[in-house]
Amino acid sequence: MPSYYIWSGKSEHYHSRSCFTAVKIETHLVLIVLMLCDILWKTAECQCTLGNYLSTELRPGYRRDGDIMIGGLVTVENVSPLHHPFFTTVPSFDGYTYPILLNYYNFLAFVSAVEEINNSSELLPNLTLGFHIYNPYNNLLLMYTAATSIFSGMDTGIPNYNCKTSGPLAAVIEGLSAEYSSQFSILSKIYHYPQISYTSGNLVMSDMVEFPYFYRTVPSELHLCAGIVKLLKHFGWTWVGIVASSDENSMRAVQILREGIEQSGGCIEFIETFSQSRSLLSQNMSNISEIIHTSSAKVIILYCSKDYTEAVGHASIWEAPGKIWIIIAELEFFFPSYYVDRKNTFSFTVGKKIIPNFHKFVREVNSAMFPNDSLTEMWWKDLCNNQCPKSIQRSCSSDETFAYILHCNVINSADSYNVYNAVYSLAHALHDMITSRSGNTTIWSGENESFFDSLPWKLHHYLKNLHFKNALGEEIFFDENGDLAIGYDILSSVFLPDGTQINEIVGSYNPYAPPEQEFTIYEKVMTWDSTFTKIAPESRCSPSCSPGFRKLTREGKPVCCYDCIPCPEGEVTNQTDMNACMKCLEDQWPNQKKDACIPKVITFLTYEEPLGIILTFICIFLILISTVILGIFIHYRDTPIVKANNRELSYVLLISLMLCFLCSLVFIGHPDKVTCFLRQTAFGISFSIALSSVLAKTITVVTAFHATKPGSKLQKWMGSRVSFSIVISCSLIQTVLCVVWLFTAPPFPYLNKNSETGTILTECNEGSIVAFYCVFGYLGFLAAISFIVAFLARNLPDRFNEAKYITFSMLVFCSVWVSFIPTYLSTKGKYMVAVEIFAILASSAGLLGCIFFPKCYVILLRPKRNSRKCLSKD
């Protein structure tokens, strides 16, 4: 493995043939001078410097010359200045630095990838890649200094100046924070250099109009926010807290998170931020810790970059028991290996892959490869002593390093795989550009440098259209926003009481996957902390509302804080936590728990139920009684009592009463079109014949007594013709009413779904209420006339007086139907039908009993009284 030399960043003063001092001159003189500088540079063989330039001190960078150079900004140390700049003196960077040793693998992955490409016979053959790698120390000014050093080609960075001591610069691969990455893009945009980030998921940098030269091998944090929302929704965590750093990117992400959580039905109990200032950070963390301890939310989202690892990782916020943490970076960045009292933690990480040959490369790394580099020595010691929670605290020799690496499983940590993809993406883009321009990569001889004129901006086309498979077989390409088309792995980490840490990849979120497959979770492989049960804990402001209840938001509280109230009649909820109850279909009704709609019970008066059986029995019994009486009257038709009671009208009356009893059977059973037609009309006509017969009998009785007087003119009305005329005319009127009813608005079968709870009433709709009341009103009219006539004839001789029985029968009729009206209107369904059947049977039986029973009594039990002598006796 070749050695790498480190440039000193201190300013030196040299005098060179090719250097000049800029003064105000005319435009054409500037062009001449620039051309002269270019000519002098081509003839110069020594390194050029710029004298009298005051630079900012920068730690040495890692450099290797090549035909094409790659700039690198890899943060392996952070710096905390002791003094803030006052803009009155040259800035001083006195302070202390602290390493981020895990990031050292990013640097090693950078170097390893370049080595592999240079040794490849297929990718960029006969062409060597070089690099300038600087540590920006997570400091804005030092980052700018490192950037100008890369652009100028020497450690003493000078804006708009390039010493050109090596091959042209192709692009810059950086691992800056979101804020600094966007700041660096300003410089890359000026010089048209491609900027490939392996860490920054800055939300706004997906805008290719604002950041046309920005690419990254990590997903945008917009997808990260969407993944967090889906994780919360999957476990039903609707009550969360958010802790975030106060930088612009985190605040923008928190806003997106808030919108996503609220749109998915969740709520945020608190959003707390901590300052980037060290003087305020401790107090911020103390306040946030108190809020977390008193919070009812069990899920806390920590949104901050890895730049806050030391401060956040050791803060007291983690001491709150029974909390589940969701963080946006790898667990190792926040939690040292000796800090094992953490609970359940979910982290969204870009998939870690085992980079081919990287183990071997790291195994061979030693301090001799990077002489005078204290960080390499520090990383070496930390690898042996600190990276493994269960390792013995001792130093290790170089031949033991590989065993420790395998045991600790830290090689694939950090962003090594992202760095690997970034370097290879750039190499493939260069390869595509060369082959498309020349048709053959073997033409490169190191001398045709004009081929790479304006290299940076020419390279963008090939980066945008990049598509290849890396050594692991994964397809690598950038989407329309310059983001690598990859997703996140969801890592679950739990620290058990015995100090054991369990890390499992329990799911993933890939926005580029087919619909309905973007988010996956594997709960079976998850381990929950002993604080919780074996199932996922809940994080809710209010308990879940069971099916049958709906949520009622508490006044002045977030929508996640609610009370559960039962659904009203006729409505259900078949899922938990529903905002509103759903009405059942018309033919359905809620079950007892109101969590499902069940078919309504279809009810009608049947022959099988007790009420139907009783009414049917009574109906048949009365028909038989009527038949028997009719038979008696026919058998004794020549007896005086039968003759005296107008036997023809008696026959008609008995038959009409039998029809009335028979009509009541039509009301029992499932209503259909025929039965609905016959129910009211058949009864109305039959009963009108019966009442007409009663009226005719009453008029006949009155006429008979008055016609016996000498000189009475009523004798001509004594024939049967008059009686039958009354019956026919009166019943004909009812028949006309019924026919008009049937032709205009006939009754029809109807499913009444709203009258009774949980049942569907199968009934006959009368069609026209007016016609219905006209038919029954006419029956009442006939009964009233009969009652009045019979009442007027009550003083006739007792032996021959049928009028008093008719009067009593009409009283029974009126009593029954007057009672029927309110009862009929107050009942529903089959009971309403039963009331009408009872009214028909009672009124008809009243006529039958009051008019015919006394006569049958005389005929059968008192035959001696069945004589003309007895009937004419006063």
- DSSP for 14-48, please give it: ---TT--------HHHHHHHHHHHHHHHHH--S--
Amino acid at 99: P
How far is residue 152 from each of residues 56, 412, 442, 822, measured CA to CA in Å?
14, 33, 29, 105
Q: For position 694, what pLDDT does the model report?
A: 84
CA-based nearest residue to 187, from 134, 133, 151: 151
Task: Report the C-alpha gap between 321 and 536 in whole angstroms.
Answer: 16
Token code pair at residue 202:
């800055």
Q: What's the pLDDT at 177? A: 85
Q: How far apart are CA 408 and CA 102, in angstroms?
A: 12
Q: What's residue 95's pLDDT?
A: 63
Opening angle at CA 534, ends 529 and 539, nearest 5: 70
750 DSSP β-pair partners: 763
For residue 652 the two structure tokens come to: 């008609």
Per-residue buried b or exposed e for 277-290, using 16+ beta carbons within 10 Å of the residue's own CB? eeeebeebbeebbe
Long-range contacts of the stretch 395-404 (C-beta < 8 A, 24+): 398/366, 401/363, 402/359, 402/363
Q: Which fold has domain 221-350+486-525?
A: Rossmann fold (3.40.50)
Quote the pLDDT of residue 27.
38
Question: Residue 165 CB: number of other CB atoms within 10 A?
Answer: 17
The structural domains of the chain, with segments of one domain joined by +, span 5-217+430-454, 221-350+486-525, 358-408, 549-599, 610-872
To which H or E segment does residue 172 belong? strand 169-174
If we measure between CA atoms, which residue out of 764, 741, 779 comes closest to residue 668?
A: 764
Q: Which two tokens stand for residue 814?
A: 């009126």
CA angle at 61 for the pair 58 and 66, rounded to the nearest 5°: 140
Domains 5-217+430-454 and 221-350+486-525 share a fold: yes
Report d(CA 700, CA 721) in Å as an integer: 11
Contact criterion met (CB below 8 Å) for 320 and 289 = yes
What backbone torsions phi and psi does residue 217 show, to the nearest 5 degrees?
A: -100, 25
Of 571, 580, 593, give the one whose Cα is nearest residue 553. 580
Rounded CA separation 264/405 (Å)? 43
For residues 81 and 95, is the Cβ–Cβ distance under 8 A? yes
DSSP string, 114-159: HHHHHT-SSSSTT--EEEEEE--TT-HHHHHHHHHHHHHTSSS--T
573 class by beta-carbon count within 10 Å (0-12 exposed, 13-18 middle, 19+ buried): buried
Residues (pLDDT < 50) of the chain are: 1-55, 333-334, 336-340, 387-394, 398-408, 441-443, 445-447, 874
Strand, coil or helix: what is 651?
helix
Contact between 357 and 406 (Cβ < 8 Å): no
Q: Which residues contact 638 (CB under 8 A, 6 or more apart)?
A: none
Classify burial at 774, counting beta carbons within 10 Å of its beta carbon; exposed 0-12, middle 13-18, buried 19 or more: middle
pTM score over 0.85? no
Taking the C-alpha atoms of residue 631 and residue 651, their distance in angstroms, rounded to an integer, is 10
pLDDT tens string 743-755: 998 999 888 887 7
- Token pair for 185: 């893009």
Rounded distance between C-alpha atoms, residue 689 and residue 681, angstroms: 12
Beta pairing partners, 559: none
At 55 the pLDDT is 46
Helix/strand/coil (H, E, C) string of 46-113?
Answer: CCCCCCCCCCCCCCCEEEECCCEEEEEECCCEEEEECCCCCCCCCCCCCEEEEECHHHHHHHHHHHHH
Residue 431, SS3? helix
Distance, in Å, from the CA atom of 649 to the CA atom of 855, rounded to the nearest integer, reads: 14
Q: What is the DSSP pairing of strand 239-245 with strand 299-303? A: parallel
What is the per-residue burial (b if ≥16 Cβ within 10 Å, else e) of 340-377? eebbbbbbbbbebbebeebeebbbebeeeebeebebbe
Q: Are 270 and 293 in contact (CB under 8 A)?
A: no
Give the position of tokens 């029968």: 809
Residue-wise pLDDT tens digits, 383-422: 655 544 443 343 555 444 444 444 345 555 568 899 999 9
Is the C-alpha dihedral spanning 639, 641, 646, 650 positive or negative?
negative
Q: How far is CA 160 from CA 34, 42, 119, 166, in A?
A: 12, 18, 33, 17
Task: Give pLDDT, residue 560.
Answer: 87
List of residues 6+ apart from 267 with CB closer than 8 A:
238, 239, 240, 261, 541, 558, 559, 560, 561
pLDDT the model gives residue 198: 93
CB 482 within 8 A of CB 211: yes
Task: Note the CATH number of domain 5-217+430-454.
Answer: 3.40.50
Looking at residue 342, what is its pLDDT?
Answer: 54
Strand partners, 300: 241, 325
**Amino acid at site 855:** K
Rounded to the nearest 5°, which phi and psi values hold at 267?
-140, 155
> Phi, psi at residue 836, to the nearest 5°?
-65, -40
Task: Please answer whether residues 54 and 11 qualify as being in contact, where contact means their C-beta atoms are separated by less than 8 angstroms.
Answer: yes
How far apart CA 19 and CA 526 sit, in angstroms, is 65
Domain 610-872 has CATH 1.20.1070.10: yes
265-307 confidence digits (pLDDT tens): 899 999 999 887 766 777 888 889 899 999 999 999 999 876 6
Confidence at residue 242, expressed as pLDDT on a 0 to 100 scale? 95
CA–CA dist 40, 32 (Å, integer) = 12
- Tokens in use for 232? 């919360």
Nearest to residue 478, comparing CAs of 189, 109, 211, 168? 211
Residue 610: partners with Cβ closer than 8 Å, 6 or more residues away: none
> Is the CB of residue 640 less than 8 Å from the CB of residue 867?
yes
Q: Which residues pair with 72 in a beta bridge?
A: 133, 173
